[in-house]
Amino acid sequence: MRFYYPKSFLKLIFIGFSLVVLPLFAALINNAITVDRLADKSQEAVYQAVLATHNSRTLIELIVTMERNARQFVILGDQSLFDAYLRVREKFRNTAAEFASLPFDLAQMSELDQIRQRERKIYVMLTENRSEPEQLKRAVEAFVPLSNLAQALEARSRDLIDSEVDSMQKIAAKARYIIFWQLLAMIPIAVFLVIGFSILISRPIVQIDSAIRRLGDGEFAQPIVVNGPQDLEFLGKRLDWMRLRLIELEEQKSKFLRNVSHELKTPLTAVREGTELLSEGVVGKLSAQQSEVVEILRHNGIALQRVIEDMLNYQAVQFQKSDLQWQPVRLKPLIERVAAEQMLTVRAKGIKLDIVCLDITLDGDPEKIKIVIANLLSNAVKFSPQRETIRIRARRRDNEIVLEVIDCGPGIAPDDKDKIFDAFYQGAAKQGGYVKGTGLGLSIVREYVMAHYGTIKLIDPITHGAHFRVTLPVNHAEPA
């Protein structure tokens, strides 16, 4: 699946961060607007309820004052009392008009209209029937039901406050509910975006890391392709260029090894044949000193041939695992044959071989397993002091074979433990003989062991020396 990336890795990170934060930011703004609206509505509702209560109480006080002035006027007949009534009535009308401007329900508006209408009737009765005591008395008595209506309106205003408070509580609860579910919905969205952009960001990084690891392990067959921002894709192209250059260098190195090995092997064969003829006395009997020199030539000719074989084996080790010739291999005869082939060098140093191996059979390539055993034994002989013992152990453990080669040499220096299986690496320990090794023996061993889906480890010795442990599966089965 092809993903479309921005041009730079930094821009990808910025876009990912923005998209992750954006839903949370939007939810925060929406919640802030909701809370602000709720606060404004609550403030407005409370203000109107308080204003209604205040006006209703003011109406009651003004009605009481008008009633008192009207009664005094009816009893005393003083015009100033009637004028005071008129002034209070004007305040009543203004307060009633302000009250009527508030957004009330129909019941409150109906009660307020009744109060205003009844007050108007009382005013008409007081102004038009000044000379009729009975009408004036009836007008004054009409203030009682008017006061009752005002008190009922004041009670309804109090109920309005309670109703508004209850309504605000319901609205607040609904707002909390909406905010909760908004935040809850934002969590999977944010998690999805975080995971998605983590994959987008980590994918090219993982590809680059995998490519570098393959280059470090010497795996050059697979092309390096990095899918991501343009700058990382360019980095992938540069890594692929490096891969091609390494392949070219490997081919040059392989060609060089083939040519050098071939050019050395031909004259070395002549030298070996000549020393064999001399040691057999074909050209005449040799003196003791001459025999010693010939033996030195013969011994170092064998060592030099082994070096050349290591170089050829290292070249041959660059094969596919399918090239192995799988067949049942009896391990004990194979170990004995390797020991016999190296017996001359073993006896020359007075070394004793302690071999413990049961009759074990495993699936493998006999030639490659023989090279593994030969290289490990050769290393052990090379680094072991004279008249020491080399132990070779082979046993079956569940569905695998464990092969161990243990010598009494100087061992592996701590700084060399992580490098001894690298090609051409030679440790700090001194080697015996006149011909220096190539540093390919253990590298070849590792490649052949891995080709058999096994492992090789350097075990920390109890006292001194080197202890190598090879583990091979009994049955051939390629891992899925």
- pLDDT by residue (tens digit) across 365-405? 998 899 899 989 988 888 888 888 999 999 998 899 999 99
Q: Answer whether residue 362 shows pLDDT above 80.
A: yes
pLDDT at 359 over 80: yes
pLDDT of residue 202: 75
Q: Which of 156-165, 373-382, 433-442 is predicted with the least confidence, judged by mean pLDDT? A: 433-442
Half-sphere exposure of 3 (CA within 13 A, CB side): 18
Q: What percent of the chain is modeled with pLDDT above 70?
A: 83
What pLDDT sits at residue 287?
A: 77
pLDDT, residue 125, reads: 81
Q: Is pLDDT above 70 for 439?
A: no
111 to 92, 102, 146, 150, 229: CA distances (angstroms) = 15, 14, 10, 8, 75
Per the model's pLDDT, the better-predicted residue between 12 and 92 turns out to be: 92
CA dihedral 288, 292, 293, 295 (to 10 degrees): 130
pLDDT in tens, 283-319: 777 777 777 777 777 777 776 776 676 666 666 655 4
Instruction: Report whether 118 contacts 141 (CB < 8 A).
Output: no
Close Cβ partners of 48 (under 8 Å, ≥ 6 residues apart): 102, 103, 164
79-83, 131-135, 259-263 — most confident range: 79-83
Residue 313's pLDDT is 63
Question: What are the pLDDT digits (tens) for 232-264?
Answer: 778 888 888 988 888 888 778 777 766 776 677
Of the listed ranges 129-138, 173-182, 303-312, 468-477, the one predicted with least confidence: 303-312
Instruction: Give the pLDDT confidence score for residue 322 in this predicted structure.
Output: 47
Which string of DSSP letters, residue by residue, matches 343-402? HHHHHHTTPEEEEEE---EEEE-HHHHHHHHHHHHHHHHHHSPTT-EEEEEEEEETTEEE
Confidence of residue 427 (pLDDT cuts 50, 70, 90): low
| Nearest-angstrom CA–CA distance, 89 and 198 | 77
Q: Of the ranges 162-176, 333-347, 350-364, which one carries the lowest mean pLDDT score?
A: 162-176
**In this model, does residue 75 exceed pLDDT 90?**
no
Q: Which tokens hold the place of 398? A: 């569940």
What is the pLDDT, as a whole number, of residue 435? 44
Contact predicate 373/332, CB 8 Å? no
The Cβ of residue 396 has, within 10 Å, a number of other Cβ atoms equal to 14
pLDDT of residue 434: 43
Residue 124: other Cβ atoms inside 10 A: 11
- Tell me, what's the pLDDT at 320? 45
Mean pLDDT, rounded, for 212-222:
80
Q: Quick one: pLDDT band at residue 11, thresholds 50, 70, 90?
A: low
The secondary element (H helix, E strand) that includes residue 54 is helix 9-76
The Cα-based distances of 124 to 95, 137, 424 in angstroms read: 19, 13, 126
In terms of Cβ atoms closer than 10 Å to its own Cβ (0-12, 13-18, 19+), residue 248 is exposed
Beta partners for residue 460, in sequence order: none
pLDDT at residue number 480: 45
In the chain, the percentage of residues whose pLDDT exceeds 90 is 11
> What is the band of 437 on the pLDDT scale with cuts at 50, 70, 90?
low
Q: What is the mean pLDDT of residues 56-82?
A: 82
Nearest to 443 by CA among 301, 264, 308, 311: 311
Q: Which amino acid is at 434?
A: Y
**Contact present, 119 and 89 (Cβ < 8 Å):** yes
pLDDT for res 333: 92
- Give 420's pLDDT tier (boundaries 50, 70, 90): confident
Most confidently modeled of 165-174, 182-191, 216-225, 420-429?
216-225
